[in-house]
Amino acid sequence: MITEPLYTAEEMRAAEEAYDGPTLELMERAGSATAETILARYGDVSSVSVWCGTGSNGGDGFVVARKLREAGKEVEAVLVGDEQKISGDARENLEQARAARIPFVETAETELVVDAIFGTGFRGKPRTEAATAIEEIKSLKAPVVAVDVPSGVDASTGEVAGIAVRADLTVTIHARKVGLVVAPGRFHAGEVVVADIGLAGVKTRHSRATPEMLSVVPRRAPRDNKYTAGSVVVVGGSRGKTGAACLSAEATLRSGAGICTACVPGSLNQIFEQRLLEVITRACPDEDGVMTLDAADAVIESAERATAVALGPGLGRTDGTRALVAYLLDRLDKPIVLDADGLWALTGHLDWVFARDAPTVLTPHEGELAALLGRKSEWVRSRRFHAAQAGADDVGAVVLLKGADTIVAAPGRGVVVSDLGNPGLATAGAGDVLTGIVAAYLSKGMEGRMGAVAAAATQGVAAGIAAERHGAAGLLAGDVVDALSLALS
């Protein structure tokens, strides 16, 4: 399985509605599975407080409380909300909890907290009573296990509009939810365990990349030569930023491209010649170490036999580079991955990409995507899922939004999330490496969206290999480059 489904609240409801047995049975299974996980992970704790809302998630919590009591734990329940609002299966389980003589208290001193206040149906900000309860949970300084989704997190987007529980462990029912994988929600979920309660799967719009995604990447075959294996041109580098283009170029070859040409400022060419032994360098016209529009002919000539172009790493930010980016986007009929200074040039000119017929992949971080959309970085940071989709639709291209959860969006299609990396990727040059991987995969004929997802997954797996060698604390982008071939092998 190269991807696993990510559920929205609506899709989860559809899965539950398709179940042909009693829904009370599902609630019993959900609560029991959560209790079993708690006993396996926190079996040595003696006291547990279960904080229950008035909806179905609270109903799951009542089952958890009962099952933990049956296992010999000292259990107290805290009801968050008006008891008169509890109905249906949740009401039945409330009565069973009371029959089991579980005490309901106003607050609790405890060794472990179970959060069952809000579930997948939650949207927006918690109201005053729930917000106060969440604040109190935080003040307890005890480990927190969330049932299905941490309260305050939007299960369908990962957005956190107000206060939210920060769990150490989330036992999510049936399948992962979008909000458990996409920031900021993912940072509230802690470790995520999926509990199977016997529901059939439904088709989901969004998905999460697995390491098996690397299996779809074309490998060099016995019949290949350096051109048929994938030919890339990297356009970048400027005074003070030669490393960006070098990392991208090296990453193309370590990702399986057969040949790479780096079009670089002529006055700096000697630097590239010394660093890039396996890469062809093409000295292009520049002014004070920054390429100008006069470089366009050399780039286009170099790209004649290429099957993909990486445009922007370390390119520089001048009127001349903006003109060069505009010209190349218009004249090159090749797949292009646009990054860094190429994205800077594109700001305010999204029509340059929208008008292209050939595939285009943009690889922004939050600040770059915010600039493209005319927003503040905080707007993107707080709604990454929505921002990536908006970017793809506005630009008419594939958008790969970088981060701990790298999000790949394409116009009119579902999102794919890759969270296979590690904190070591928070290092200068990691984005340039990713650009090179995307370019290599486009050069091999991969479709833009799939190539971008596979590239993000490859970088994540390679970062894991590199961390085993060097540790994640001081991981360098070059360490990830060196691990790319191993990841693919």
For residues 315 and 478, give the distance between their C-alpha atoms in angstroms, rounded to a whole number: 19
Residue 388, pLDDT score? 98
For residues 59 and 53, give the distance between their C-alpha atoms in angstroms, rounded to a whole number: 8
Using DSSP, state whether 104 is helix, strand or coil: strand
Residue 109, pLDDT score? 85
Question: Omega into 143 within 30° of 0, i.e. cis?
Answer: no
For residues 56 and 23, give the distance between their C-alpha atoms in angstroms, rounded to a whole number: 10
Q: Which helix (H) or strand (E) holds 416?
A: strand 416-418
Distances (CA, A) of 377 to 348, 395, 420: 16, 18, 24
Q: What is the pLDDT of residues 47-94, one digit of tens each?
A: 999 999 999 999 999 999 999 999 999 999 999 999 999 999 999 999
Residue 265, beta-bridge partner list: 284
Residue 107, pLDDT score? 80
Residue 400, beta-bridge partner list: 408
| CA nearest to 13, candidates 185, 159, 169, 174 | 174
List Cβ neighbours of 317 (8 Å cut-off, separation of 6 or more): 341, 344, 345
| CA nearest to 217, candidates 255, 258, 260, 254 | 255
Contact at 8 Å (CB) between 152 and 164? yes
Q: Taking the chain (489 residues) in consecutive chunks of 10 residues, what is each chunk's mean pLDDT?
A: 97 96 97 98 97 98 98 97 96 97 90 98 96 96 97 98 98 98 98 97 97 97 96 98 98 98 98 97 98 98 98 98 98 97 98 96 98 97 97 96 97 96 97 98 98 98 98 97 97
pTM of the model: 0.95
The neighbour count for residue 4, using CB atoms within 10 Å, is 15
The neighbour count for residue 372, using CB atoms within 10 Å, is 25
The neighbour count for residue 390, using CB atoms within 10 Å, is 18
Contact at 8 Å (CB) between 35 and 68? yes
List Cβ neighbours of 33 (8 Å cut-off, separation of 6 or more): 171, 173, 195, 196, 197
Beta strands (DSSP E) in 212-333 are 231-235, 259-265, 280-284, 286-287, 290-291, 308-311
